[in-house]
Amino acid sequence: QQSLTVSLDRLLAYLDPANQRLQPSVQLNLDPPKIFHSRKPAVLVMIMGEPQLKPVVSDKNDLMFVSNTNWDIFYETALQRYYLLNHDNWLTTADLINGPWAPVSLLPPGLSSLPDDANWADVRQNVPGKQVKEVPVVLVSKGPAELILTQGEPAYAPIPGTKLMRVTNSDAVVFLHSGDAKYYYLTAGRWFRARADLARRAGA
């Protein structure tokens, strides 16, 4: 029951490296995510791969939902349209990936008779939803992505003693380095850089 303190160097001296099991290598994906920029209010919808549709009710195919996203997206088979719940309002499109999206004037009947269980509780509370005057830009990615929102064209403030300029009209951490003419963006603990003009990225 006694403890013994031994220096790490002494312990390693008794180990034969040839007899030690090698730790398996870990495959890391260092590819940068797709990074969108919008000068207007926007939402980023991430779908993990191609959209996977499943019926809301197992024996009925009139109303489907996209299962591989954390957004509430439904597909009405008769009208062949998608319906996206954005907070307390609904948007619709015929093309899930490319849009364009428009506000919903009338929801399909199936959304008014969703199963009474916890899976659809939040959705039922927002049927029929509120009307919106300004439709946000809906950016859809079939993989990991990030969104940089600026209030209009990017505005900059120089940082004294450096060649950096901070983008000031965004909550994102974005810098422009005048020395190499590149943007530097911090998100999820990682830095990314791009030479492209921030104001033209993603065209939003």
For 19-48, what is each residue's pLDDT tens digit?
666 667 777 777 889 999 999 999 999 999
Q: 3-state class of 66 per DSSP?
A: strand
Please report, as a single letter, which amino acid is at residue 100.
Answer: P
The residue among 24 and 94 whose pLDDT is bigger is 94
- Structure-token match 């951490």, residue found: 173
- pLDDT in the model for residue 202: 46
> What is the spatial distance between Cα 48 and Cα 56, in angstroms, rounded to a whole number?
19
Q: Are 73 and 84 in contact (CB under 8 A)?
A: yes
* Lowest mean per-residue pLDDT among 95-99, 169-173, 188-192: 188-192
Q: What's the pTM value of the predicted model, to 2 decimals?
A: 0.79
The pLDDT confidence band at residue 195, using thresholds 50, 70 and 90, is: confident
How far is C-alpha 40 from the geometric centre of its chain's CA atoms?
17
Above 90 in pLDDT, residue 200?
A: no
Q: 3-state class of 134 per DSSP?
A: coil
> What is the spatial distance between Cα 169 and Cα 39, in angstroms, rounded to a whole number?
10
- pLDDT in the model for residue 16: 74
Q: Mean pLDDT, the chain, as a whole number? A: 89
The pLDDT confidence band at residue 185, using thresholds 50, 70 and 90, is: very high
Above 90 in pLDDT, residue 51?
A: yes
**Minimal CA–CA distance to 135: which of 104, 169, 172?**
104
